[in-house]
Amino acid sequence: MLDELLTDKRIKYAFFGLLAIAFIVIVYIVWIPKNNELEISKYTAYDENTANEALREKYVKTITSYMRVGNTEKLKELLNSNYLVENELTAEECINALAKNGLLSLRIEAINPITVVCGNNVLHTYIVTNGTNREKVNVFETYPNTYTMFFGDSVIYQDIDVSGVSQGVNFEISKMTVKNNQLTYEVKCTNLSSNSIVIDTTSASSVVVATKSGNVYTLIGGINSSKDVTLSKDSSINMTLDFAISMSEAFNISKLSFTDVYVNNEKVLAQIGM
Amino acid sequence: MEDKKNNKLYLIGLILTIICLVLLIQLLKKSLSKNEIYDYANMESIVNVMYKGDEVVARATYMTLNDIISNYLDSYIDVNASISDGYKAYYDVLSDSYKDYLSRGQYEKRAVAFLKKFLVGENDIPAMNDVDIIKSIYEVANNEYIVKLDSNFQKEVAYIGIKLKNGNTYEITYIE
């Protein structure tokens, strides 16, 4: 009788023991992701620096290869149109200048690469040289593999279309120019109300821009338009507003504020989002 | 005699319990890993899912996804410049939900249709166009992306869904 009970108990222990082992094995087989073991499921992660570096290398390689073989058509396609307009140049003239300086040559090398992140854009600069002459090349990338190039100083001209109404005034920003430590906006202000409105820009803090991270920048020099401006109904004024701001910050502006605006002699704040 | 009968009953009980366990655990795993972003069976258009996400401009994400996609496309051509079945191995890289929806055979059909969108070649030597093909990237969930690709044929847009996971592994969540 005792023997029988013992045998039964052993079977029971064996049963539950096997069940526990089976449970562990099943969980392991079903749950452990198999593709972690696969080589093809692994990837190399980039960070912003290595990604920008890889893209810059690619652009440099493409542009210098065009310069080495004298592929002028491809070079012309890459030229930044705003750069040509602002400098009153044609693509032909631009490429001819390169050829004249011996910069369409097999001996072209690219040196001193620098990358500046400008909001959602990236500016890569480097020097191309044939050993004797040199030229600064700027590559302005708006999206990976979408870029234009221009030569000389790193000045970015961008047509923008930002507008907003505040305190009865319509502010329209049509163009921005960004160069080393300076941002310039072309702004048209139109009085849409029946009130008499004065926009005073005589002090540095009368117009300020704020970045997404909360940094605030004031006007350079303070006076950038014809002192204070009185606008009657439907009249407008064009202003050129300069701010001392780094290139990387200039593309992160989120707000433009006019702090010295007077509506019927009452001081108000007018601001638009960017 | 009685012992032998008992042993058999225990054995049958053990086998049945193990079968139930397998089914139960698989069911539990499926319900836990269910992808809430894609309802593959009822999905009318990937575009609807895509535009619910945020467009990604981060260069790091772009380059990471670009490498993954290039490797996948290149799996269709072998070192001798012939069509390869290397893409078949990528079935194991599909997400669990996508694998539940697509059998291996269905995946292979779908993968070939997808990969052919990038097939180019002169003089009968096939090659894959995997240069600058990313048109836009949308993050539809944390580290989960839908990438819109430029195919060789203007009218045919291609999409691939990729989820980046911990430990630098990824899974493919969708191809079209």
Q: Distance between CA atoms of A90 and A74, rounded to whole angstroms?
A: 15
* Cβ–Cβ contact B71 with A under 8 A: yes
pLDDT of residue B25: 78
* Cβ–Cβ contact A7 with B under 8 A: yes
pLDDT, chain A, mean = 88
Put simply, the answer to whether B18 touches A22 (Cβ < 8 Å) is: yes
pLDDT of residue B80: 81
Q: What's the one-letter identity of residue B124?
A: D
**Strand, coil or helix: A235:** coil
DSSP A89-121: --HHHHHHHHHHTT-SSTT-EEEEEEEEEETTE
Distances (CA, A) of A120 to A143, A183, A248, B56, B96: 8, 16, 10, 10, 34
Q: Distance between CA atoms of A227 and A260, rounded to whole angstroms?
A: 12
pLDDT of residue B69: 96
Return the number of other C-beta atoms located less than 10 Å from residue A268's C-beta.
Answer: 16
Q: Which residue has the higher pLDDT, A68 or A7?
A: A68
Q: Distance between CA atoms of A176 and A183, rounded to whole angstroms?
A: 7
pLDDT at B83 over 80: yes
Tokens 């073991």 locate to A37
DSSP 8-state code for residue B101: H
Confidence of residue B108 (pLDDT cuts 50, 70, 90): very high
**Using a CB-CB distance cutoff of 8 angstroms, which residues of chain A are in contact with residue B10?**
11-12, 14-15
- A and B: number of Cβ contacts within 8 A: 98
Put simply, the answer to whether A36 touches B167 (Cβ < 8 Å) is: yes
* Cβ–Cβ contact B171 with A under 8 A: yes
Identify the residue among A3, A36, A39, A46 best suited for mutation to test binding to B, counting B beta carbons within 10 A and taking the highest.
Answer: A46
pLDDT at B141 over 80: yes
* pTM for this prediction: 0.79
Q: Which residue has the higher pLDDT, A31 or B28?
A: B28
Residue B32: which H helix or E strand, with range?
helix B2-32
Put simply, the answer to whether B93 touches A36 (Cβ < 8 Å) is: no
Q: Identify the bridge partners of residue A229 per DSSP, sorted by sequence position.
A: A199
Are the C-beta atoms of B124 and B83 separated by less than 8 Å? Answer: no
Half-sphere exposure of A266 (CA within 13 A, CB side): 5
Q: Distance between CA atoms of A42 and B137, rounded to whole angstroms?
A: 20
The whole-number average pLDDT for the span A87-95 is 94
pLDDT of residue A2: 46
- Look at the alpha carbons of A118, B54, B33, B90 in this order and tell me if their dihedral is positive or negative: negative
Put simply, the answer to whether B75 touches A40 (Cβ < 8 Å) is: yes
Encode pLDDT of A68-84 as tens digits: 998 999 999 999 999 99
* Cβ–Cβ contact A38 with B under 8 A: yes
Encode pLDDT of A151-197 as tens digits: 999 999 988 899 999 999 999 999 999 988 899 999 999 999 999 99
Encode pLDDT of A236-263 as tens digits: 999 999 999 999 899 999 999 999 999 9
Put simply, the answer to whether A34 touches B92 (Cβ < 8 Å) is: yes
Count helices and strands in chain B by DSSP H and E runs: 5, 7
Encode pLDDT of A116-162 as tens digits: 999 889 999 999 999 999 999 999 999 999 999 999 999 999 888 99
Put simply, the answer to whether A144 touches B66 (Cβ < 8 Å) is: yes
pLDDT of residue B35: 60
Q: For A30, which residue in chain B has the nearest alpha carbon?
A: B26
Confidence of residue B32 (pLDDT cuts 50, 70, 90): low
Put simply, the answer to whether B58 touches A48 (Cβ < 8 Å) is: yes
The whole-number average pLDDT for the span B41-47 is 75
pLDDT at A111 over 90: yes
